[in-house]
A and B are shown apart, each in its own frame.
Chain A
Amino acid sequence: MITPRTRRALRRTLRRQLLPKLGVVMFGLLVVGALCAPVLTPHDPTTQQLDEKLRPPIGFSGQTEQTSSQLVDGEVKTVTETTTVSATWTYPLGTDALGRDMLSRVLYGARTSLLVGILGTAVAAIIGVPTGLIAGYYGGRIDDALMRSGDVMLAFPSLVLAVALVGLFGTATVRIPDPWVVLGITPSMPSHVVLPGTVVLVVGLVNWVWLARIARGEAMGLANAPYVLAARSVGASDRYIIRHHVLPNALTPILVMATIQVATIVLLESALAFLGFTGTTLSWGFDVSQGRDLLSTAWWVTTIPGFAIVFAVFAVNLIGDWFRDALDPGIDAGGGGGP
């Protein structure tokens, strides 16, 4: 349970150390950017303006090549014209190959990453935590059966399994109305947030084992705790004991692992989007893949969304480290990573 003591420990670490502060500030910026994306930028992230394409970010200059066929001396020749494109404050982070504003795409991409990261972790927790608690609490054959099935899951790298599952079952998306547009504050912005539904389920499905392992370890230790034995002796059911005694006492380490999973899942989503397997094109990973063929001419199209991914995962990892250091649940520093 999040007891006053836990809260004190968290606050103490936050006050004394620099990195947790940095993590909170970075994560805060990310959440504000995602929530307020439509008011923070005047440009629709999906609007294409070909005459504004490949503008560099402020402080840099870029070049675009235009090939056209011209009739020269009675022969058709391909002529390549190179024009220098200058940066403009209208597009502070530049534009991509279709003239879409990079800043808008970065802000809107944060929505996809955070939604998938948090909802995916929730799916993993819904599957993993009960499984782990039951396995650890009962032990014996039930434990063996549940955790062996987890071993089989671990034998497939989560990215490989996720790719296979999304490949098999396709990419369904859920369209969530954007409150800013519904309320009429930013009527010209995209009216819906496209949530890659299959991806949320799949990333949860391939990551539950980590949460189950932690929950199991805790439940094993708690199964014979004095208060659990006391509850059992007065006739409390196993279900009641797991819910009211085991789960609350196992919550801290589960919370730490869940934070690590958010980082893992954000990375996993970006990798799936990079491979083109998520069904939404408003995603940092997808934007990185868009810039691949432009590496030599427009470096920013790949680089900027990549920085956004590093920023987000770094922020979540700092928060994970903060929780771990403050609460010391004995989870190895392995931590939040992914593909």
Chain B
Amino acid sequence: MVSGRFLARRLGHGVVVVWAIVTVVFLLRYSTPGSVVTTIAPLDASPQLKAEIAKELSLHEPIYVQYAHYLGDLLRFDLGHSYVTNTPVRQLLASRLPQTLDLAIAATIVAITIAIPLGVVSATRRHTPTDYAATSFSLVGISTPNFWLGLVLVLVFAVGMGWFPVSGPARANGEVISAIDVLYAPQLAGRWLIHLTLPAVTLGTYFTALLTRLTRSGVLEELEEPYVRTLRSSGLPPVVIRYQHVLRNALVPVVTVLGLQLGTLIGGAVITERVFAWHGLGSLLIDAINDRDWMVVQGCLIVIGVGFVVINAVVDGIYAQLDPEVSIE
């Protein structure tokens, strides 16, 4: 079991990393070249107007005062307002997050359901055509840029076959729908799923390939262990040995690397959203950078950074469940 002390230490560590993340993000925004005022103010703005804008954003304050305000606002979950639309950043993020979560979770499900069986089969039937096929697939998979894969999938399955929509999230009455809406209105599930399929496969392919490679090498290593021979000699069926004993042990390093690679998943989501005109955090971030809307950029970076820390804490919890030594340590 996961001990309370382990959880407390993990939480403390998480808080420090979150603080560091928000500080780095603040410094990034602070060091933006060019004045924010020129971004916001109209071209023919009078000096008075510019001064007023600067005062409104408390840009005249010294850096430590701005930093203190920023931390204080963050504690109240106030992420400021967009420079461009003046919408609260928190509201923008809340409207975009469900879409990104849909995409990331769907991609993870695609990856896990394909990669783990594939990795185990590939390892237990080493040097057979099945293994070569799985190994080649995973090598090509980690070498393929997902923005290109997405476009090729669109070319074949949307433009060519016409099975899926070319881009964009599912909508009902003009509103973008996500998994939560589907829970309340199950009749939308079909439409939601058909829009989600190509983006999820696009984002999931790299992860599937990576996970297959990791599972294969993990299982291969475990199969060499003496306990496997003992289990085999005691007459346990190979399926039980493979999936109950070997896989469980082989998954320990897999989970670690997976936690570290989650950033890749989120980064991939950003670009996948771009390809499919997905209405998520990634599109919001890229648009905000193009518009020099640094408050929105800041909000996106904080959500992504903090999200990464939270997910990693969860991964560590799973890790501790799989390998009791970790939590006792």
Q: Do the two chains bind?
A: yes
* Residues of chain B lying within 8 A (CB to CB) of residue A313: 142-145
The 8 Å CB contact of A336, one of B142, B148, B271, B290, is: B142
Interface residues of B in 206-251 (CB under 8 A from A): 206, 209-210, 213-214, 216-217
* Residues of chain B lying within 8 A (CB to CB) of residue A318: 139
Q: Mark B263-296, 1 if CB is under 8 A from A, else 0.
A: 1111110110010000000000110011010000
A49 within 8 Å of B (CB atoms) = no
Whether B267 lies near A160 (C-beta < 8 A) is yes
Whether B21 lies near A292 (C-beta < 8 A) is no
Whether B33 lies near A169 (C-beta < 8 A) is yes
* Residues of chain B lying within 8 A (CB to CB) of residue A335: 142, 210, 213
A337 within 8 Å of B (CB atoms) = yes
Whether B147 lies near A274 (C-beta < 8 A) is yes
Whether A306 lies near B20 (C-beta < 8 A) is no
A165 shortest CB reach to chain B, Å: 8
* Residues of chain A lying within 8 A (CB to CB) of residue B266: 157, 160
Whether A295 lies near B154 (C-beta < 8 A) is yes
* Residues of chain A lying within 8 A (CB to CB) of residue B286: 163, 275
Whether B264 lies near A292 (C-beta < 8 A) is no
Whether B145 lies near A155 (C-beta < 8 A) is no
* Residues of chain A lying within 8 A (CB to CB) of residue B263: 154-158, 160
Task: Kindly state the separation between the CA atoms of A321 and B206 in the bound complex, as whole angstroms.
Answer: 17
Whether B270 lies near A159 (C-beta < 8 A) is yes
Interface residues of A in 5-24 (CB under 8 A from B): none
- Size category of the A interface is 35 or more
Whether A151 lies near B145 (C-beta < 8 A) is no
In the complex, the chain B residue whose C-beta lies closest to that of A307 is B148
A309 within 8 Å of B (CB atoms) = yes
A267 within 8 Å of B (CB atoms) = yes
* Residues of chain B lying within 8 A (CB to CB) of residue A291: 151
Task: Kindly state the separation between the CA atoms of A271 and B271 in the bound complex, as whole angstroms.
Answer: 7
Task: Kindly state the separation between the CA atoms of A303 and B66 in the bound complex, as whole angstroms.
Answer: 48
* Residues of chain A lying within 8 A (CB to CB) of residue B155: 295, 299, 302-303
Instruction: Choose the segment among B49-57, B107-115, B302-310 that binds chain A (4+ C-beta atoms closer than 8 Å).
Output: B302-310
B74 within 8 Å of A (CB atoms) = no
Task: Kindly state the separation between the CA atoms of A148 and B145 in the bound complex, as whole angstroms.
Answer: 30
Q: Mark B24-62, 1 if CB is under 8 A from A, else 0.
A: 100010011100000000000000000000000000000
The 8 Å CB contact of A295, one of B159, B216, B253, B306, is: B159
A265 within 8 Å of B (CB atoms) = no
B269 shortest CB reach to chain A, Å: 8
B146 within 8 Å of A (CB atoms) = yes
B207 shortest CB reach to chain A, Å: 9
B148 shortest CB reach to chain A, Å: 4
Whether B271 lies near A339 (C-beta < 8 A) is yes
Interface residues of A in 203-229 (CB under 8 A from B): none
Whether A271 lies near B147 (C-beta < 8 A) is yes
Q: Mark B142-166, 1 if CB is under 8 A from A, else 0.
A: 1111111001101100010000000
* Residues of chain B lying within 8 A (CB to CB) of residue A278: none
* Residues of chain A lying within 8 A (CB to CB) of residue B264: 157-158, 337-339
B105 within 8 Å of A (CB atoms) = no
B15 shortest CB reach to chain A, Å: 12
In the complex, the chain A residue whose C-beta lies closest to that of B297 is A164
* Residues of chain A lying within 8 A (CB to CB) of residue B214: 332-334
Interface residues of A in 110-156 (CB under 8 A from B): 148-149, 151-152, 154-156
Whether A295 lies near B151 (C-beta < 8 A) is yes
Whether B143 lies near A155 (C-beta < 8 A) is no
Which of A158, A285, A317, A332 counts the most B-chain CB atoms under 10 A from its CB?
Answer: A332
Whether A168 lies near B271 (C-beta < 8 A) is no
Task: Kindly state the separation between the CA atoms of A303 and B289 in the bound complex, as whole angstroms.
Answer: 28
B260 within 8 Å of A (CB atoms) = yes
Whether A285 lies near B32 (C-beta < 8 A) is no
In the complex, the chain B residue whose C-beta lies closest to that of A271 is B271
6 extra A-B contacts, CB within 8 A, seeds A157-B308, A274-B274, A295-B151: A151-B17, A154-B263, A154-B308, A157-B265, A160-B270, A164-B301
In the A-B complex, list the 5 residue pairs whose CB atoms are closest, starting with the nearest.
A157-B267, A159-B267, A306-B148, A167-B289, A157-B263
> Which A residues lie at the B interface, using CB under 8 A?
148-149, 151-152, 154-160, 163-165, 167-170, 263, 267, 270-271, 274-275, 285, 288-289, 291-292, 295-296, 299, 302-303, 306, 309-310, 313-314, 317-318, 321, 332-339
